[in-house]
Structure 1
Amino acid sequence: MCQMQVSCYQGISSLNFQLRRGIIMDEVKNKFRESMSRLATGVTIVMTEIEGRPWGLTVSACCSISMEPPLILISLATQAASTQAIINNQRFSVSVLAEDQIDVARSGAKAGAPKFFEEFAESKGSFNYDVKNALANVHCRVEQTVTAGDHTIFIGFVEDVILGESKSPLLHFNRQFGEFNTAVRN
């Protein structure tokens, strides 16, 4: 076999490997996406300000990470308008939704649609907004920003918390919103 044939064979072999790897990775990504849809999570609205108006995005990737100091983590698609606004403002609020706030969650989840939130929000000044009647509203300033894959992770220093009425939360499971059922199965 001449050198050119060997080079050509190696090139085709490498291309086949890359194609197989791409197909396998697509399958892994699809299964991973499906597995994460099976993780029941609370539903939050992350708000900041765009053009002087409250802007809200429905987010399930949210968790507390420290009590001393009080820190919260949110993860947003890097390409989302909210991400750039939070980077610019260096502030955001997280509102934990109650089971009767599905309309709020759907409003913040509309792909590609403007998410101005005047209908649902109350201004608390300094880029801080609360969702009316939320279980809790947490006001943060950006402590740290981390890029991870196609998302941007914000770690927020919690500056204030406003607690609402204690009632059942809104949950997200299997790509649907629902309520918490306290019934115990035997």
Structure 2
Amino acid sequence: MEVVANPDTIRTAPPSSPEEFRSLMAGFPTGVAIVTAVDRNGRPWGMTCSALCSVSVDPPTLAVGMRAESPTLRAALESDAFTVNLLHAQGRSAAELFASGAPDRFDSTEWSMPEHAAGPHLTEAAHAVADCRITQIVVVGEKRMVFGEVFRVSRLADDDPLLYGSRRYGTWSATQPRSHR
């Protein structure tokens, strides 16, 4: 049996509801990251982000999704750069803190600002960090997809990554011993 999609029907179909879409994406576990940046006054900003993906290996490029009104986005645009902190399993409290909007986030977590870093490195919560320079921004609804070319990768720990899916945090532990290079 041959099935052919009708392009006219597909183009005119209404989008799914936000609730249906959230339910769909809840079933797609993802790693948890905190995106950080520094504004023109040197103030650090950060937000928990699960809308992160690898775009290209050459040049090494990441894409992160941020709300249009996000102060972290504003700081990243001011500095033309951002940092992606990939959280390890013990980074859950940092993920919750940076998702909360609490104004004292950086007073409540360990971080450093290495020379030439794009944003704060979360030294206790992250297992790896990527410093990125912004190369492109795409508007998608109320979000901005910010593309960043990675200019530095730092490994901070050799821990299992923090995951988020089905509206809860978890970890992924390999059943085999970890390979060390």
Q: CA-to-partner distance for each residue in 1:74-124, whole Å, 9 max, x for gaps? A: 0011121111111111110001000011111111110x4326424332112
Matching residue within 122, 125, 141 for 1:131 = 122
Residues 1:162 and 2:151 are matched in the alignment: no
Cα distance in 1 for partners of 2:80, 2:122 equals: 19
Contact 2:97 2:105 in 1 (8 A): no
Q: What code does the residue aligned with 1:142 have? A: I
Q: What code does the residue aligned with 1:128 have? A: G
Number of aligned positions between the proteins: 160
Q: CA-to-partner distance for each residue in 1:121-155, whole Å, 9 max, x for gaps? A: 21124443211042111001101111111100100
Cα distance in 1 for partners of 2:158, 2:175 equals: 18
TM-score (norm 1): 0.78
Distance 1:70 1:130, change over 3 A: same
Q: What code does the residue aligned with 1:180 have? A: W
Cα distance in 2 for partners of 1:40, 1:142 equals: 26
Contact 2:45 2:75 in 1 (8 A): no
Residues 1:36 and 2:30 are matched in the alignment: no
Contact 1:56 1:115 in 2 (8 A): no
Q: Classify the secondary structure of the residue corresponding to 2:28.
A: coil
Distance 1:28 1:35, change over 3 A: same
Q: Which moved more, 1:112-121 or 1:129-138?
A: 112-121
Cα distance in 2 for partners of 1:141, 1:80 equals: 18
Q: Which runs of 5+ in 2 are unaligned?
A: 1-13, 177-181
TM-score (norm 2): 0.80
Aligned to 1:145: 137
Q: CA-to-partner distance for each residue in 1:156-175, whole Å, 9 max, x for gaps? A: 01110001222211111122
Spell out the pairing of 1:1-186 with structure 2 (5 A cutoff): 28-50=17-39, 51-110=41-100, 112-114=101-103, 116-118=105-107, 119-126=109-116, 127-133=118-124, 134-182=126-174
Cα distance in 2 for partners of 1:125, 1:76 equals: 25
Q: Which runs of 5+ in 1 are unaligned?
A: 1-23
Write 1 or 2 for the structure with the bigger share of helix: 1
Cα distance in 1 for partners of 2:64, 2:128 equals: 15
Q: What code does the residue aligned with 1:61 have? A: A
Q: Classify the secondary structure of the residue corresponding to 2:34.
A: strand
Question: What percentage of residue pairs aligned between the two structures are identical?
Answer: 29
Q: In angstroms, what is the RMSD of aligned CA positions?
A: 2.2
Distance 1:162 1:72, change over 3 A: same
Larger Rg: 1
